[in-house]
Amino acid sequence: MTIMNLQQCKVCTKRKFSPSVGLICGLTMEKPNFQDRCDDGELDEAEAVRLEKLRSEAEEEEVSSGFFGAEKQGMKKGVLGGVVMITIAIVWFFGGLAAGYIFYYPPILFIIGLVAVVKGIMDGNLAGKKK
């Protein structure tokens, strides 16, 4: 059984689960053993939509975490997100300067905010894309 077989079986209406074996075919009551595709399978649309939603949520979670995760989320908010990032950068920079510190990250955040504003204007994304 290949990964492709397993993916097809996950969204088949005839899939069954065996605690000892795992995913099995409801027709043969055995592990799927076809080569390229199963001709007897039927698409379970609700399960396909559910799995696609889980996949997209996992991708979004991956984007929102990690290095520059918050900045990536701000860029998705378009012009509004860019303005917020620029504001935070300015307050952070001059607040640090008033306290006698020069932080290196606020200029980077300022540039990311500028990119988000320009990209948001070009895309027509003023306050975040609606899904």
Residue 108 pLDDT: 94
- The pLDDT averaged over each successive group of 10 residues in the chain (131 residues) is 60 81 80 75 81 79 68 84 94 95 94 93 79 46
Task: Report the C-alpha gap between 105 and 87 in whole angstroms.
Answer: 13
Residue 1 pLDDT: 42
Residue 52 pLDDT: 84
Residue 6 pLDDT: 65
Distances in whole angstroms, Cα of residue 36 to Cα of each of 4, 6, 9, 18, 29 = 8, 11, 12, 23, 19
